[in-house]
Structure 1
Amino acid sequence: MTKIAIIGAGSAVFAQQMITDVLAIDGLNAGEFTLIDIDPGRLAMAHELAELTVARSGKPFTVMSSTDRLTALPGTDFVINTIEVSGLGNVRHDYDIPMKYGVDQCIGDTTGPGGVMKFLRTAPAWLEILRDIGRLAPAAVVMNYTNPMSALVLLSARGSNLKVYGLCHSVQNTLAELAGYLELPADELTYRCAGVNHLSWFTELGWHGQDVMPRLRQAMEQPEIYEQDIVRFEMLRHFGAFPTESSGHFSEYVPYFRKRPELVAHFTRPAYKGESGFYAHNWPRWRGEHAVQVRSLIDREKAGEAAINMTRSPEFASNIIEGVVLNRPQHITCNLPNIGLIDNLPQDGVVEVGCAVDSSGIHPQPHGRLPEALAALDRSHMAVHSLLADSVLHRDRELAVQALMLDPLTAAVCSLDEIRAMFAELVEAERADLPDYLREPVGAWGSQ
């Protein structure tokens, strides 16, 4: 029987989607979902929603839940990690403090000062989870969705012996958006895409043997299309490739669009299209609405309404399970160590490439070289990830400071002294949720 553990399952809507996706696999007719979360109230709602989802599918899956992963993990075949560590209490700090220094973030959870701090809060818990999986379910396939996803996968590669695969929906969502701009069916497009999570690149795009990149460039000259994706179309204009993260979030990854207020006003638009502080201003409210949404979904389903969406999503976790368990070949995009995959990116880092999946596992497909300008943009983020991982593993605060100094957006705005001061202020504000080595003072030239 296939056992699937979801860690961080208190995020009940996402956990329910993962369950729906697995239940939609034709031929996988039984198994167990184990839901794990440290919040018993949110976990109870997630469990109830999961049982209703299974009941609607008609498949004889069982649902278990626990706040103690030590009792829940043994026998697990697949682990899906979706944890959030102290985000609600720190999302304002992650935005407000950098903003004082002129660093203007839209999302700020995978890159920039917000991404650095989220990694430092999350890494200790992630390492503990990996150690427990290593002891209790060492053969499990581990899939990580938690951001900063690429940096956490790198930490797992350097800090454990487990094979951990980072998953995201940015490539498949971007493909659907490109199909819309081109007015072509997404399933008829061919492409080459690789890089680093949220900074991968569609370098080739075809349709029935035709190169449709020129058609995409023509489409972006239409104001109604250009306005939907300003930042990414600017990258296509200047770098010749289309990046995989939404314009608003992507604008944080490079130094060109957010370093002055007039640039933010010119290149960004409301909400996910780049609005300043969009995540910090809205996520606490969304988090509060989550319980209401889940409770309503449960009550409506119990009342006889078909309220639960049973449509399989584009997320790749279920494709991995389908390929491994049923030996049904799958093609996905995955984040994993760069062992001969992208030639001109660091071989000790983590990259995002196409992978084949079957019963023998996940098989990354070598991509070759990226265009050098794109590789240079990716390398800057891989350096940040490397410093952050080593900071945690070696308990070296100075490496974390240097990671922030190398962040492209932060470096575009601040001096080195300003970055050091910003880091100290962030650590002081979030000290209760950070590992203790970060609380130590730092001298001008290193740890004291």
Structure 2
Amino acid sequence: MYVAWYEMHDIRQCVEWYDVTPDPATPDPGRRTMPAVATAPATAAAAKATSEGHAAHTKDGDIVGLPGTMPRPIKIALLGAGSGFTPRLCNDILLTPGHCGGEIALVDIDPARLQPMHTIVGRLADRFSSPGRTWTITGHTDRTTALTGADYIICCIEVSGLGCVRHDNDIPARFGVSQCIGDTVGPGGLFKGLRTIPVWLDILKDAERLCPQALVLNYTNPMSMMCLAAVRTTSLPLIGLCHSVQGTSKLLAKRADVPYAEMVWDCAGINHLAWFTRLEHQGRDLYPRLMEKARADLARDPEGKLTRDEAKNLDAWDLVRKDMMLHFGAFITESSGHLSEYLPYYRKRPDLLQRYCRAAYDGQSSFYADEWPKWRAGADANRAKMVEGTTPTEWARSHEYAAFIIEAREKDSPFVLHGNVANTWKGGGPLVANLPHDGIVEVKTVVDRSGFNPCVFGRLPPQMAAICAANMAVYDLGAEAVIRRSKEAAIHALTLDPHTASVCSPAEIRAMTLEMFDAEKDFLPGFK
């Protein structure tokens, strides 16, 4: 977890509407220059933050909390509470300074996973409650009571993951489609969405009736497809949360050898495909230095013969992102293994896999399918130790978004993050002008008492926008496949998927998709 997303920005950057113009000073594509005069504030909240002098929160301030006091007890419904993510997420909420307590309603359909979390979070609440600031932790296998009157909904659900992870990976592999993670894009990502989104939309339908005032925070993948289906079927204010922008910004500061708090940057695009179009330190463009280093790193192991440790020691890793930066002009937010699944370039031949993709998260084929069941078993074992009291549950507040979003809204203390939102937020003009206006984009967003206030970015360099738009077409058809329960729309989605289409013919993609539908039919009712 990283503090990066709100540590270094002056919040004033959120109110400036920048155009993208070529910079003649550098031959690298996609460079971004700032016009001399900014236009009107993109959001009222951002303008208010600027006028009142709210600047970037300091690193220490972020960990402790935002200024102010919460005026009321609140209710938070956390769905998918059996996740290993739950204890730390709840710990962050309970550690919020100036809170007035309230209720955290934990929901999981599996009692065996819910009960340990109820015990663990209940102990945390006892530790952090005080007179007038009491937290109540409730557990539910049915979401109705939990959602009733909730102020915030946090979604961490997983639908049929263990039952389908091998199908999601192995059937495409037989057709030549190599996946490293396969949970947000490609065949695995699409079918995870087909299983998950129907449940998600049912949750949101209930929420519209039971807690229409709630803010919705989604952590579940496939992020863009989940958010897109939601904004097409509900009026609830919703944001999708990911770690890639904040993590990568900190990584780039380290690679450029500059103090993180002094680095100035802009980033926009879509989830896992957002681009750092501006990267500066004290007015100096950091890209020439990063590109020079990337060329050297790519030349160290051209045949892919180094072990994982050897490659990392020599910086001959994360090669897909480095190569994309050299050819497209900016660094991308997602790490190389997962990123390679969004692109048509790196996974379509064995020699390319060996050249650009390394072990584990750096691009290993079938990595997630092989390892995730082990991680889940390990998390279950760790949860049992927490219940027994043999594993410590004393943590500092993390850099996760959720608790800070809640705190910012309740205290009306503006907070800056990068989130996944509708490109035409509340019917306004596009946030990223040259991406599909009816899609989901990842942009800088201000949170205050009024809720989510995404900031207008302008235009991405066209080559970057094209890469994003190609994947947005997949999400569009994937979301429609769920909404209409259409196998044909799902087939069309995969036929347009950049990586899948680089390997398979349309006929092969159709056969693969239908085979996956058959293998997972017990988890995909109603599709025709």
Interval of TM-score (by shorter of Structure 1 and Structure 2)? over 0.9
| Residues 184-243 of structure 1, C-alpha deviations (whole Å, 9 max, x = no match) | 332222110000001111111122332212222233335556423111111111111111
1:201 to 254, 270, 275: 275
Q: Deviations over 1:363-406 (max 9, x none)?
A: 10000000101100100111111111112222322111100100
Q: Is the 8 A contact 1:405 1:419 kept in 2?
A: yes
Q: Distance in 1 between the 2:478 and 2:339 partners?
A: 20
Q: Among 227, 241, 262, which residue is 2:351 paired with? A: 262
Partner secondary structure for residue 527 of structure 2 = helix
**2:126 & 2:157 partners in 1: Cα distance?**
26
8 Å CA contact retained: 2:101, 2:129: no
Alpha-carbon offset, residue 28 of structure 1? 1.8
Asked if 1:312 corresponds to 2:397, the answer is yes
Match of 2:421 in 1: 336
AA matched with 1:205: L
What is the rounded CA distance, in whole Å, between the counterparts of 2:351 and 2:394 in structure 1?
42
Q: CA deviation at 1:291?
A: 1.3
Partner residue, 1:365: 455
User: Which residue number corresponds to residue 298 of structure 1?
Assistant: 387
- Cα distance in 1 for partners of 2:467, 2:422 equals 18
Q: Distance in 1 between matches of 2:400 and 2:317?
A: 23
1:16 is aligned to: 87
Structure 1 length-normalised TM: 0.94
C-alpha root-mean-square deviation of aligned residues, in Å?
Answer: 1.4
Question: Distance between the aligned counterparts of 1:225 and 1:38, measured in 2?
Answer: 46
CA distance in 2, matches of 1:136, 1:228: 48
- Preserved contact between residue 237 and residue 452 of structure 2 (Cα < 8 Å): no
Q: Distance in 1 between matches of 2:93 and 2:316?
A: 36
CA contact (8 A) 1:231 1:247 kept: yes
Q: Tell which has more relative contact order, 1 or 2 (C-alpha 8 A, sep 6+).
A: 2
SS at match of 1:159: coil
Q: CA deviation at 1:178?
A: 1.2
The separation in 2 between residues aligned to 1:26 and 1:219, in whole angstroms, is: 43
Q: Are residue 350 (structure 1) and residue 440 (structure 2) matched?
A: yes
**Letter in structure 2 aligned against 1:268:** C
Q: Secondary structure at the match of 2:438?
A: coil
Q: Deviations over 1:166-191 (max 9, x none)?
A: 11111011112112212233222211
1:376 aligns with 2:470: no
Deviation at 1:151, TM superposition (A): 0.7
Match of 1:137 in 2: 211
Counterpart code for 1:288: A
1:442 matched to which residue of 2?
none
Q: Which residue is 1:100 aligned to? A: 174
Residue of structure 2 in register with 1:446 after alignment:
none
TM-score by length of 2: 0.80
* Equivalent of 2:126 in 45, 50, 55: 55
Task: For residue 58 of structure 1, report the CA deviation from its aligned partner.
Answer: 4.6
Distance in 2, matches of 1:20 and 1:175, equals 25
Partner residue in 1 for 2:334: 245
* Contact 1:169 1:314 survives alignment (8 Å): no
**1:285 alignment partner, one of 374, 377, 380:** 374
2-structure distance, mates of 1:188, 1:27? 29
In the alignment, the residues of structure 2 paired with residue 94 and residue 290 of structure 1 have an alpha-carbon distance, to the nearest angstrom, of: 22
Q: Tell me how far 1:361 sits from its aligned partner.
A: 1.2
Worse-matched range after superposition: 253-262 or 29-38: 29-38
Matches within 5 A, 1:73-222: 73-220=147-294, 221-222=296-297
- The aligned amino acid for 1:19 is C
- Give the Cα–Cα distance (whole angstroms) in 2 for the partners of residues 407 and 326 of structure 1: 43
Letter matched to residue 41 of structure 1: A
Count of equivalent residues: 433
How far 1:29 sits from its partner (Å)? Answer: 4.0
1:328 deviates by 1.1
Deviates more, 1:338-347 or 1:53-62: 53-62
Instruction: Name the amino acid aligned to 1:294.
Output: R
The Cα of 1:309 is off from its aligned counterpart by 4.5
1:67 equivalenced with 2:138 (yes/no): no
1:437 is paired with a residue of what secondary structure? coil
Give the aligned residue type for 1:209.
G
Query: Please, which of 66, 76, 97 is the counterpart of residue 26 of structure 1?
Result: 97
The equivalent residue for 1:445 is: none
State how far apart, in whole Å, the 2-side matches of 1:346 and 1:197 are: 14
Q: Report the equivalent of 1:44.
A: 115
- The runs of 5 or more residues in structure 1 that have no matched partner are 439-448
Q: Percent identity?
A: 48
Moved over 3 A (4+): 55-59, 222-226
- Taking the aligned partners of 2:483 and 2:158, their CA distance within structure 1 comes to 20
State the AA in 2 paired with 1:194.
A
